[in-house]
Structure 1
Amino acid sequence: MQVPDRVAPIVDFIFPPRCPLCGAAVARQGGLCAACWPTLAIPSEPSCPGCGRPFAGAAAPGTRCAPCLAQPPAHDGIVAATLYNAAARRLVIAFKHGRRIALAPLLGRLISARLTASRSLGAGEPWLVVPVPIHRWRLWHRGFNQSALLARDIAARIGGELIVDAMVRRRATPILGGLGRTARERALRGAIALKAGTAARIRGASVLLVDDVLTSGATSNACVRALKRAGAKTVVIACFARVLDEALPPDRA
């Protein structure tokens, strides 16, 4: 939640701004200190136009990575603010599990900046902004959908139309963190669908699908398939942190 400008000085006086990673004093709430900014792994260029995967060396414009060539993705691009490392992990854990929802503007700002830099959204094209859904039981337990908080912030920054409840999890799924790619896909089969009455708004639209972390892509791919079945023209995935396959243990890739 963004603090209104008129009350920000009062909040800063009562709760002096601190870096969420190291606790050092910073200029504003939700900002990182100068020492911690470089610890985030910002994706480099050139990158694959299909999935945003950074190339290790030089690549001709339009060159796609081996995974995209072997199995073309259903989505139309991935934009990640950072690559998943120790700093990104600490921010995600604080945001999602530590319930520090005041971090949403920081993460949303980083994602939006990356979207602008990558030119993934085109010029002047209207976008629907849709969060990855969580099951109602998890929502009751956590109290919020972290992807919805990010989607709300991003929609305000890029001028997109937020549809916070466009999709639903029809059944609870196990925690996917310890599962491999095949097991994740099996667990999610049929679990995600469009909410009744939403298809008309999705048909022919360009959709920005928002999540906090992209690991194997099983959850986002299930969402992409549901959106494409409803007639979405374009679906671009935006996330704060992305785990590259080579960063995963073999049984998780």
Structure 2
Amino acid sequence: MQSALRLIYPPRCVSCGDTVAQDFALCLPCWGQTPFAAGLVCDACGTPLPGQDSGQPEYCDACLTRPRAWTRGRAALVYADNARKLVLALKHGDRTDLARPAAVWLLRAARPVLMPGMLVVPVPLHRWRLVRRRYNQAALLSAGLARAAGLDHCPDLLIRPHATPILDGLGAEARFAALDGAIAVHPRRRDRLAGRGVLLVDDVMTSGATLEAAARACLAAGAVEVRIAVLARVAQNL
């Protein structure tokens, strides 16, 4: 039966739709056009760095200039070319099917920063934005990563009590100002944080302002350490 279904409905590339060998995969041309964050990367945000990996932590200029509230982080992709197309399709194009392969890429990138007993938490959307979009793409990613890694997942640990402005087009300082104190821990979920490490998950990191607000909220509520994993890292401002 499975073979017959594959003849009728062969696996398709999640990007271009061409036939591939397995479900939820990229074809070779699309894979080649998708910039994965590999090799030596910043230990705080995952952006690729020049040079060879010596086994010692290295940091990009952005993370050296602005120390992060979290301790370590990784990104699966660089936000450019086909990676940008895939992220936008997941975020705004109702391509929730992309969360499945994206979670696999994210787990592969995040393995160096995972700790036993971590609580995996998505960056939240404000309730009105969630109503309009109908899903939180960060929560889809965090659920897939947590399930594959065998870690606890709490999709509603963090909330946005107040709507924040659209951040597109804002510089780093304006982003940090707009998000200062904009994220909080859900009052009924605080007990899940006490004495635990947290892995924050988001789809894209630009300046890091959103992740900073989320990390500070977790630490203030009792988390012992926060690390991050993002699907894509914007490199243009580095």
TM-score (norm 1): 0.86
- How far did residue 54 of structure 1 move? 2.7
- Give structure 2 stretches of 5+ with no counterpart: none
Shift of residue 59 of structure 1? 6.5
What residue in structure 2 maps to residue 147 of structure 1?
Answer: 138
In the alignment, is the contact (CA less than 8 A) between 1:12 and 1:29 conserved in 2? no
Report percent identity of matched pairs.
Answer: 43
Structure 1 residue 17, shift from structure 2 partner: 2.6
Measure how far apart 1:10 and its partner are.
8.0
Distance (Å, rounded) in 2 between the aligned partners of 1:11 and 1:206: 43
| Residue aligned with 2:57, SS | coil
Q: Is 1:25–2:16 an aligned residue pair?
A: no
2:148 to 126, 147, 157: 157
In the aligned structure 1, how far is the partner of 2:73 from the partner of 2:145? Answer: 15
CA contact (8 A) 1:129 1:207 kept: yes
Question: Does the CA contact (< 8 Å) of 1:80 and 1:238 recur in 2?
Answer: yes
* Letter of the structure 1 residue corresponding to residue 176 of structure 2: E
Structure-2 change in CA distance of 1:12 and 1:152 (3 Å)? farther
Count of matched residue pairs: 237
- Which moved further from structure 2: 101-110 or 55-64? 55-64
Structure 2 Cα separation of the partners of residues 70 and 100 of structure 1: 36
Partner AA of 2:104 in structure 1: R
What is aligned with 1:41? 35
The alignment status of 1:95 with 2:95, answered yes or no, reads no
Aligned-residue RMSD, C-alpha: 2.1
Amino acid at match of 1:154: L
Shift of 1:13: 6.0
Kept in 1, the 8 Å contact 2:47–2:78? The answer is no
Task: For 1:1-253, list aligned pairs within 5 A.
Answer: 15-58=9-52, 60=54, 61-116=56-111, 119-122=112-115, 125-244=116-235, 247-248=236-237
Determine the C-alpha separation between the residues in 2 that align with 1:95 and 1:11: 26
Change (3 A) 1:146 1:62: closer
State whether residues 12 and 28 of structure 1, in contact with CA within 8 Å, keep that contact through their aligned partners in structure 2: no
Counterpart residue type for residue 200 of structure 1? D
CA displacement at 1:24 relative to structure 2: 0.9
Alpha-carbon separation, structure 2, partners of 1:185 and 1:236 = 19
Q: TM-score, normalised by structure 2?
A: 0.91
Q: Which runs of 5+ in 1 are unaligned?
A: 1-6
